[in-house]
Amino acid sequence: MKARFADWVATADAVRATTKKLEKHAALAGYLSSLEDADLEIAARLLAGAPFPRKDERVLSVGWSALSDVLLQRSGKKGEDMAASYQRHADLGDVAGELIGDTPREGEPLTLGDVAKAFDAIAAARGVAPKRELLRDILRRATADEARYLVKIVAGETRIGLREGLLEEAIARAFGRDREGVGRAHMLTGDIGEAALRAKHGTLDEPTLAHFRPIGMMLATPVLQLEEVGKRFPPPYVVEDKYDGIRAQVHKAGDRVELYSRTFDRITNRYPELVEPLLRVPGSYVIDGEVLAFSEGKAIPFTDFQTRLGRKNVAAELRTKLPSSLVAFDILERDGRALLDVPLTDRQEILRALPLESPVLFARHQRIGTSGEDLVAILEREFAAARGRGNEGLMVKDPRSPYRPGRRGMEWLKVKRALRTLDVVVTAVEWGHGKRRAVLSDYTFAIRDGERLLNIGKAYSGLTDKEIAEMTTYFQEHTLHDYGRVRTVIPDTVIEVAFDQIQPSSRHESGYAMRFPRIVRLRPDKPVTEIDTLETVRQIAGR
Ligand code: AMP
């Protein structure tokens, strides 16, 4: 018997209905252990909140207008009903549930297989009309509750995905395995569905790091004061420049090389000048690094380099004007040997044995053995020197640490420019004044608190006129509700905002406000899940 999507929905609802971890685990484990292989794989992926596994490069690309068209059609409601409902829920999935209500569904009830097949077809379809047709077909068959989740997944809402750890733990529990093993298989395969299957069949130990299957990148924790470094772990410290570019994971085997972004997208085409030099390094490897451009030995500001970023295929002209370099700072695999569990010191030795040639370079690095005031003095000097080289600041790493994919820990610390910027997401935009009358140039932005986005400030755009014009079009196409002067927008534009101070304030829902906020740049490389959090804001504000 094929598993009904309705049972998946009931499980997801049960998990959301309780705040108790044990109850969440029990609901999930009971459900997952009841499924056959193919259904288990689909159910686990959907519980993670995404239509496809992490390693998969496919996207649904269903636009906001197609989605709302189909919804209005399915529910028989009007545009203003939808706007009012969005005001209440701020979540398109919940809007779908409310609008559809009791309107009857048609055809056979949905199975998990139907849902997976529909997502495959939508991703494969080219053009708006065919995608809309497919979406209409599946929503016709969905109940209000089912539509609520389908739409959340299609719209990429962050609010359905269970925390990775929670899901891994429930899978471990469902099949009597340990959580570490499930987490490791997930990380290595990039597919929670495959990890669940392996947990079921007792083959969690099999997967190893595979070429051309990117894994999560290790992340760093910000330190707000240099003194803090010494409190995180004892000497020695590995100190590197923090390069301000695009993170890239490079996989090379045989005569193929690929670069992947932190969201697992293949970005090789954007940096064609790196391919040959990377291929010339013999053997196989996976390295972690940053792509950026240098001019006369100094890093070019990210905003200048960024013009290349949005382009899938980079024209020859831009390539000669702003040739990219890759700065390698870590190695995860070499000639068939996985190095994730090898301490950083040893990984760096292996990395530095690679015969790299320009424009592929090694990151500047050194080892510091001191602590206390000496450490702070050295870090201060190094920070200034790194800034002088056009870099963003410093990374301080624990030489004993393994490479922890996708984890943000205390083993990598980042010391950024004057420590006074936050990565935030735009939630609303407003028409400007004077010569900016015709563009949406004032942005309201939010930080993250768990699954919630909380506004923290508003600023005039400090972007270039061209960027503002492009973003104006983008925001017009991604408007949630148009109030005239102001419009709320789909929260998926990440920007970096600089400020002088953060203070408690009742002006914004985060409970904090910034003094002199200014928008520094767009951060298309950063997903909303990785913007700064309320916790960081509290620390900066000191309360
Ligand atoms: P942030 O983007 O501000 O959260 O800082 C973390 C990012 O710094 C990483 O994801 C890398 O893209 C980048 N980075 C630059 N230099 C280094 C380095 N030497 N080691 C690790 N990450 C670095």
Confidence at residue 433, expressed as pLDDT on a 0 to 100 scale: 84
Query: Encoding tokens for residue 197?
Result: 């299957």
Pairing state between β 298-299 and 421-431: unpaired
Mean pLDDT (the chain, rounded): 90
Confidence at residue 159, expressed as pLDDT on a 0 to 100 scale: 61
- Ligand 1 midpoint to CA 315 (Å): 27
In tens, the pLDDT along 8-23 reads 999 999 998 998 999 9
Between residues 466 and 1, the one the model is more confident about: 466
As annotated, the active-site residues are 242
In tens, the pLDDT along 25-82 reads 999 999 999 999 999 999 999 999 889 987 776 889 888 888 989 999 999 999 889 9
Confidence at residue 86, expressed as pLDDT on a 0 to 100 scale: 84
Task: Report the chain's C-alpha Rg in angstroms.
Answer: 24
Query: Encoding tokens for residue 297?
Result: 């030995």
- Ligand 1 midpoint to CA 308 (Å): 19
- Ligand 1 midpoint to CA 458 (Å): 26
Mean pLDDT of 222-229: 83
Q: Which of 59, 57, 87 is nearest to 154 (CA)?
A: 59
Between residues 349 and 205, the one the model is more confident about: 349
Query: In the 8-state DSSP scheme, what is residue 53?
Result: -
Confidence at residue 310, expressed as pLDDT on a 0 to 100 scale: 63
Same fold, 5-155 and 219-416: no
Q: Secondary structure of 187-213 in the HEC alphabet?
A: HHHCCHHHHHHHHHHCCCCCCCCCCCC
Q: Quickly name the fold that domain 219-416 has.
A: D-amino Acid Aminotransferase; Chain A, domain 1 (3.30.470)
Q: How far apart are CA 24 and CA 17, in angstroms?
A: 9
Q: How far apart are CA 401 and CA 269, in angstroms?
A: 33
Contact 515, 499 (CB under 8 A): yes
What is residue 541's three-state secondary structure? helix
Instruction: Note the helical H segments in 315-359.
Output: 316-321, 344-352
Considering the segment(s) 420-541 as one domain, its CATH architecture is Beta Barrel (2.40)
Mean pLDDT of 150-175: 85
| CB contact set of 113 (below 8 Å; sequence gap of 6+) | 2, 3, 38, 39, 42
Confidence at residue 117, expressed as pLDDT on a 0 to 100 scale: 97
Q: To test the ligand 1 pocket, which listed residue (389, 395, 413, 495) has its Cβ within 8 A of the most ligand atoms?
A: 395
pLDDT band at 160 (very low <50, low <70, confident <90, very high): low
- Ligand 1 midpoint to CA 543 (Å): 27
The DSSP code sequence of 268-285 is GGG-HHHHHHHHTS-S-E
Rounded to 5°, the CA angle 224-518-438 comes to 155
Confidence at residue 184, expressed as pLDDT on a 0 to 100 scale: 86
Q: To test the ligand 1 pocket, which listed residue (238, 243, 261) has its Cβ within 8 A of the most ligand atoms?
A: 243
Confidence at residue 113, expressed as pLDDT on a 0 to 100 scale: 97
Ligand 1: residue whose CA is nearest its atom 17: 242
Confidence at residue 63, expressed as pLDDT on a 0 to 100 scale: 81
Between residues 159 and 403, the one the model is more confident about: 403
Mean pLDDT of 497-518: 85
Q: Counting every residue, how long is the chain? A: 543
| CB contact set of 457 (below 8 Å; sequence gap of 6+) | 424, 444, 445, 497, 499, 508, 513, 514, 517
- Ligand 1 midpoint to CA 290 (Å): 7
Mean pLDDT of 261-279: 92
pLDDT band at 222 (very low <50, low <70, confident <90, very high): confident
| Nearest atom, ligand 1, residue 262 CA | 10
All structural domains of the chain with their residue ranges: 5-155, 219-416, 420-541
Contact 129, 69 (CB under 8 A): no
Q: Which residues does ligand 1 sit against, CB inside 6 Å? A: 220, 240, 242-243, 247, 290, 329, 363, 395, 414, 416
pLDDT band at 311 (very low <50, low <70, confident <90, very high): low
| CB contact set of 302 (below 8 Å; sequence gap of 6+) | 244, 245, 292, 521
Q: To test the ligand 1 pocket, which listed residue (414, 423, 525, 536) has its Cβ within 8 A of the most ligand atoms?
A: 414
* 543 pLDDT more than 70: no
Selection from 16-25, 245-254, 296-305, 534-543 with the highest mean pLDDT = 245-254
Between residues 519 and 401, the one the model is more confident about: 401
In tens, the pLDDT along 470-505 reads 999 999 999 999 988 899 999 999 999 988 678 888
CA dihedral over 523, 526, 529, 531, signed as positive or negative: negative
Q: Quickly name the fold that domain 5-155 has.
A: DNA ligase i, domain 1 (1.10.3260)
Q: Which of 112, 41, 37, 99 is nearest to 68 (CA)?
A: 99
Q: How far apart are CA 29 and CA 51, in angstroms?
A: 21
Phi, psi (rounded to 5 degrees) for 364: -65, 130
Contact 138, 149 (CB under 8 A): no
- Ligand 1 midpoint to CA 259 (Å): 16
Confidence at residue 383, expressed as pLDDT on a 0 to 100 scale: 87
* 419 pLDDT more than 60: no
| Nearest atom, ligand 1, residue 365 CA | 19
| Nearest atom, ligand 1, residue 423 CA | 3
Q: Is 434 left (phi over 0), alpha (psi -120 to 50) or beta?
A: left
* 291 pLDDT more than 80: yes
